[in-house]
């Protein structure tokens, strides 16, 4: 009889609790709607107030996380917003804690709803970006892109980079499991492939980074064929990345592999030819490795130049700071059909036979870059000369046995 009274009209204790729960849920959703306006920029709110609103909203959503999957997913969204807020303010550790909560709370809802699965994949990609942040420099470029010759990342940063790679792969698996007929899912898949290329480049693998950038580009191009789906900015960014990464790819096992697997777009074949020549590969070998006619390779090498950027540094004694030499020993020029080694040898001959030749007691070095001067480990070729007793080195001769090609380990001077 009591049960019948409780069920009839909802006036008993259980009915009151149910009604109270519904009211609480409605209030939480109203609070979430207010935050959505702030997030969209429709309400000007100072950063401190934004953070307070987010924390209040998360506190209101949290009690519902155990039994209400839609609200659990929405709690994940707000943790993701909090993570972004912390990251933009330079609080990476707090951002990582918040995004971990976002990933954790969205995992189960993602199994039951496509929209929640998209939220989950995006949270994983955000987590990967925050984890990988120490592997990029102030310009957003890979800080440790030259593992064979450059500075190694600290153990903690490398571990975070590997975790970022894993989070990106998990996100990509989520997108791959969603229906391909929905453009949102295909766009998410393309973005995750682009992010995977970023993470691989940060860990010093430019060839695999090119692989995934090309696959992302292909997906974005396919999306661009749909009405109302412009992806020009993403494609422009990927194009710039591909150019940069191809310059870092070695010929054998790098450019040759990409060509064999159909992952070297036709528009980038001339760049690959020049990259191989900069490395020192002869035209006949370039033609064989890239499956091109020899006359086509010769035509590209005649028509396309590359900008060689060089710098000589000197120092008086071991351990003293290096000082760049003035122009013309720090400069640039357009070069056609010559390797970086040949450019360096010609410059070295000119230095050693000219009036600016360093004293026999001095240390000096040369680095040659392609396109822009950068970190020493990123040079296409570099050469260091320490003073030796006895005869001085002849022009064009490397006292340590030759120039160091891209990809060859060398201890830093």
Average pLDDT over residues 227-252: 87
CA nearest neighbour of 189 among 161, 168, 164: 168
In eight-state DSSP terms, residue 363 is E
Q: What are phi and psi of 336, to 5 degrees?
A: -120, 130
pLDDT band of 305, cuts 50, 70, 90: very high
Residue 229 has pLDDT above 80, yes or no: no
Q: What angle do CA 176, 238, 292 make, to 5 degrees?
A: 100
Instruction: Give the DSSP H/E element, type plus range, for residue 370.
Output: strand 363-370
Over the stretch 254-276, which tens digit does the pLDDT of each residue have? 999 999 999 999 999 999 999 99
CA-to-CA distance for 6 and 14, rounded, in angstroms?
A: 7
CA-to-CA distance for 55 and 94, rounded, in angstroms?
A: 13
What token pair was written down for 373? 């001067």
- Three-state SS at 286: helix
Q: Output 47 or 15, whichever has higher pLDDT.
A: 47
Over the stretch 108-153, which tens digit does the pLDDT of each residue have? 999 999 999 999 999 999 999 999 999 998 888 888 877 666 678 8
> Global pTM?
0.83
Residue 4 has pLDDT above 70, yes or no: no
Residue 202 has pLDDT above 80, yes or no: yes
Over the stretch 153-180, which tens digit does the pLDDT of each residue have? 899 999 999 999 999 999 999 999 999 9
Taking each helix axis as running N to C, give the angle between helix 269-279 and helix 232-248, from 0 to 180 degrees, rounded to the nearest 10: 20
Chain mean pLDDT for the chain: 86
HSE-up (13 A, CA, CB side) for residue 305? 9
Q: Computed over its alpha carbons, how large is the radius of gyration of the chain?
A: 29
Over the stretch 63-81, which tens digit does the pLDDT of each residue have? 887 788 999 999 999 999 9
What token pair was written down for 254? 């790098």
In eight-state DSSP terms, residue 74 is H
In eight-state DSSP terms, residue 41 is T
Over the stretch 338-394, which tens digit does the pLDDT of each residue have? 999 999 999 999 999 999 999 999 999 999 999 999 889 889 999 999 887 654 444
Task: Please give the pLDDT value at position 389.
Answer: 60
CA-to-CA distance for 136 and 134, rounded, in angstroms?
A: 6
CA-to-CA distance for 242 and 307, rounded, in angstroms?
A: 18
Task: Please give the pLDDT value at position 43.
Answer: 67
HSE-up (13 A, CA, CB side) for residue 381? 26
Q: Output 5 or 266, whichever has higher pLDDT.
A: 266
CA nearest neighbour of 231 among 212, 216, 242: 216
Task: Please give the pLDDT value at position 409.
Answer: 31
HSE-up (13 A, CA, CB side) for residue 350? 12
Task: Please give the pLDDT value at position 38.
Answer: 85
Task: Please give the pLDDT value at position 407.
Answer: 37
Task: Please give the pLDDT value at position 400.
Answer: 37
CA nearest neighbour of 96 among 133, 55, 49: 133
Q: What are phi and psi of 315, to 5 degrees?
A: -150, 150
């Amino acid at each position: 009889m009591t049960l019948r009274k409780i069920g009839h009209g909802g006036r008993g204790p259980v009915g009151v609790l149910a009604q109270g729960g519904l009211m609480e849920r409605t209030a939480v959703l109203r609070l979430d709607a207010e935050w959505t306006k702030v997030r969209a920029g429709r309400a000007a709110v100072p950063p401190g107030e934004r953070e307070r609103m987010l924390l209040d909203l998360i506190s209101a959503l949290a009690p519902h996380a155990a039994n209400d999957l839609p609200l659990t997913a929405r709690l994940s969204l707000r943790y993701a917003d909090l993570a972004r807020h912390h990251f933009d303010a330079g609080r990476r550790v707090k951002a990582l804690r918040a995004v971990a909560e976002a990933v954790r709370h969205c995992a189960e809802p993602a199994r039951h709803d496509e929209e929640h699965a998209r939220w989950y994949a995006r949270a994983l990609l955000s987590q990967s970006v925050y984890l990988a942040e120490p592997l990029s420099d102030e310009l957003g470029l890979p800080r440790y892109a030259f593992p064979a010759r450059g500075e190694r990342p600290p153990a903690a940063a490398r571990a975070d980079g590997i975790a970022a790679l894993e989070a990106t792969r998990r996100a990509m698996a989520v997108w791959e499991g969603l229906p391909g007929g929905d453009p949102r899912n295909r766009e998410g898949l393309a973005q995750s492939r682009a992010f995977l290329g970023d993470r691989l480049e940060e860990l010093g693998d430019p060839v695999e980074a090119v692989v995934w950038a090309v696959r992302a580009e292909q997906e974005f191009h396919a999306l661009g064929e749909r009405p109302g789906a412009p992806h020009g900015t993403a494609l422009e960014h990927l194009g710039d990345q591909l150019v940069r990464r191809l310059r870092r790819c070695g010929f054998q096992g790098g450019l040759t592999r990409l060509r064999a697997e159909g992952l070297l777009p036709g528009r980038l074949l001339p760049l690959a030819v020049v990259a191989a020549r900069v490395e020192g590969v002869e035209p006949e070998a370039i033609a064989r490795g890239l499956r091109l006619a020899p006359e086509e390779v010769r035509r590209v090498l005649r028509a396309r130049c590359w900008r060689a950027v060089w710098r000589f540094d000197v120092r008086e004694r071991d351990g003293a700071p290096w000082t760049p030499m003035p122009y013309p020993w720090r400069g640039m020029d357009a070069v056609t059909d010559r390797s970086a080694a040949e450019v360096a040898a010609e410059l070295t001959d000119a230095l050693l036979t000219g009036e600016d030749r360093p004293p026999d007691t001095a240390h000096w070095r040369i680095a040659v870059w392609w396109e822009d001067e950068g970190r020493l480990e990123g040079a296409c070729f570099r050469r260091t000369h320490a003073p030796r007793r006895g005869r001085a080195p002849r022009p064009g001769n490397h006292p340590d046995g030759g120039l160091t090609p891209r990809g060859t380990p060398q201890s830093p001077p």
